[in-house]
Amino acid sequence: MRNALSVDVEDYFQVGAFETVISRGDWDSIPSRVESNTDRVLDLFAEAGVQATFFTLGWVAERHPALIRRIVDAGHEVASHGWDHKRVFTMSAEEFRADLARARIVLEDAGGRAVSGYRAPSFSIDERTPWAHEVLADEGYAYSSSVAPVAHDHYGWRSAPRFAWRPVRGAALLELPVTTLEFGKRRMAAGGGGFFRLLPYFVSNLAVRRVNHEARPAIFYFHPWEIDPAQPRVANAPMRSNFRHYTNLEAMRPKLLRLLRAHHWGRTDEVAAAEAARLG
Ligand SMILES: [Zn+2]
């Protein structure tokens, strides 16, 4: 069973957790670490012998086109993470369409490949955005991986399906929700991010094994800044955000390598194609 491995390519200061203390207007004045960190991710994937999908901000691709080229040259997929990490539920349908288009042009120019996948910043497609999948289908995307079918303080669409589904009637567009783990009536987003970094290895390993046991692929992600223990600390950030952002950064690289070697991984577009064939 091939599982989908992905990286959300954004800098350490562009995450939702720091939105209240760092404004988008300040981004260009902060020394960037995303290119060197993403190169370390490329090294990690080469070491593990895996290919993956890099959901990249248009804002990052505009400033680091050579990085996009290196991602493509190493056989990975470049997909869209939107322009500047605005969560989908903060936009109107037309703003969302414009955000998608702006990112796609830059990503396709830099990589020289068509972009067919999208991941919403902070899994921000939910009940508040009934138009979002329609816009993606309309714009010709093959798949989205933008839904967390859980109840969580920052995101979540609890009633959405746990596995691949077609969210727009009559359209080929597939939604590949992030992997979840169920314990009784509780359901957690278990496809990477803080879940993987903050909790013991065996819990994430269990999440992948469980969905594979159900003959479904895991949808897993992490960020380049998560393997960068030397990143500067953001001043005045909320304590809870600080905890979530900085814990276990040192342990991340070996932990990832272990997970990459324990399961079969590939690009999200390949997993989407396999899931589309299964759904018929
Ligand atoms: Zn993101």
Going from the Cα of 280 to the center of ligand 1, the distance in angstroms, rounded, reads 31
CA of 8 relative to ligand 1 center, distance in Å:
5
* pLDDT at position 2: 97
- Backbone φ, ψ for residue 248 (5° rounding): 65, 25
216: nearest Cα among 275, 277, 269, 279: 275
Contact (Cβ atoms closer than 8 angstroms) between residue 51 and residue 267: yes
pLDDT (mean) for 10-36:
93
Q: What is the pLDDT of residues 50-73, one digit of tens each?
A: 999 999 999 999 999 999 999 999
- For ligand 1, the distance from its centroid to the CA atom of residue 207, given in whole angstroms, is 22
Rounded distance from Cα 222 to ligand 1 centre (Å)? 9
Ligand 1 center to 170 CA (angstroms)? 29
- How many other CB atoms are there within 10 angstroms of residue 26's CB atom? 10
Helix 34-48 vs helix 65-73: angle between axes, to the nearest 10 degrees?
0
* Average pLDDT value over all residues in the chain: 95
Helices (H), the chain: 34-48, 58-63, 65-73, 93-111, 132-138, 193-198, 201-213, 239-246, 252-262, 268-279
Q: Quote the ligand 1 centre to 119 CA distance (angstroms).
A: 8
pLDDT of res. 237: 84
Task: Determine the distance separating the centroid of ligand 1 and the alpha carbon of 15, expressed in angstroms.
Answer: 6
Q: How confident is the model at residue 252 (pLDDT cuts 50, 70, 90)?
A: very high
Residue 153 in this model has a pLDDT that exceeds 80? no
Distance CA 181, CA 235 (A): 34
Q: How far is the CA of 85 from the centre of ligand 1 (A)?
A: 6
Q: How far is the CA of 239 from the centre of ligand 1 (A)?
A: 20
- Residue type at 225? W
Ligand 1 centre from 193 Cα, in Å?
10
Task: Please report the pLDDT score of residue 103 as a whole number.
Answer: 98
pLDDT of residue 198: 93
User: What is the average pLDDT across 254-276?
Assistant: 98
Greater confidence (249 vs 219) lies with 219
- Give me the pLDDT at residue 214, please: 95
pTM of the predicted structure, to 2 decimals:
0.97
Rounded distance from Cα 191 to ligand 1 centre (Å): 14
From the CA of 181, how far away is ligand 1's center (Å)?
Answer: 21
Region of residue 215 (left: phi > 0; alpha: psi -120 to 50; beta: else): left
Residue 121 has pLDDT above 80, yes or no: yes
Q: How far is the CA of 49 from the centre of ligand 1 (A)?
A: 25
The pLDDT of 5-17, averaged and rounded, is 94
Question: 103 C-alpha vs ligand 1 centroid, how far in Å?
Answer: 14
Average pLDDT estimate for 223-232: 93
Distance 81 CA to ligand 1 centre (A): 7
Q: Do 45 and 272 contact (CB within 8 A), yes or no?
A: no
* CB-based burial, 145-171: b 16+ in 10 Å, e otherwise: bbbbbbeeeebbbeebebbbbbbbeee
Residue type, 273: A
Give 210's pLDDT tier (boundaries 50, 70, 90). very high
**Does the pLDDT value for residue 144 go beyond 80?**
yes
Digit-coded pLDDT (tens) for 84-112: 999 999 999 999 999 999 999 999 999 99
Among residues of the chain, what percentage have pLDDT more than 70? 100
Burial class (CB in 10 A: 0-12, 13-18, 19+), 242: middle
Q: In the predicted model, is pLDDT for residue 223 greater than 90? A: yes
